[in-house]
Amino acid sequence: MKFKKISSLLALAAALASTGAMADDQTVTFASASGGPAALSGQPSWTAAFQSVGTALAGGDDLISFVGLGSGTYHFQLNLSGQNFILGDLTLNGQKANFGQYGNFSFGFLEGTGASPFKLKIVGNNPISSTQAAYSGNLTVTAVPEPETYAMLLAGLAAVGFVAKRRRVV
């Protein structure tokens, strides 16, 4: 009798382990610094493109973790588009994004400042667990200068002003 219970439990554990997680969570690495639009301001930017994996929103939500950045504060811009699912919520590090549903299409956008690591949570409903439901998007970040950078800039400007004033007096 004990053998039957143990074998049943082992079979159940093996079945649960083989199903995997319901949500298709993923980790995306930022590409190396590029000279995108942010480079015009003197700051490098990093971009990470992502897309749904497997059946989108199979467990009701997908969590995407973005890695490859140093710790610090970043200005970010998130874009997302998708089709054939109902988008319920879209947050990046707890900040709620604007999104809209237009027929079978969904669009989301968020711009702001936050600290790394970035975690995007997409909550929605794939009513028929269709493999045709999909989303894609990108997250672009730009480093925010630390206060010490601004202090050095002001000190440099003051030094240049002091030298210019001294030259004029003599």
Share of the chain above pLDDT 90, in %: 7
Task: Report all structural domains of the chain as residue ranges with CATH numbers, in order of start.
Answer: 20-169 (2.60.40)
Scored b (16 or more CB within 10 A) or e, 118-147 reads: bebbbbbebeeeeeebbbebebbbbbeeee
CB atoms within 10 A of CB 45: 22
Chain Cα centroid distance, residue 159: 41
Which one, of 65, 133, 61, lies nearest residue 90 by Cα? Answer: 61
Instruction: Render pLDDT for 115-152 as a digit per residue (tens, 0 to 9).
Output: 888 899 988 887 766 677 888 899 988 887 777 777 78
Q: State residue 169's pLDDT score.
A: 59
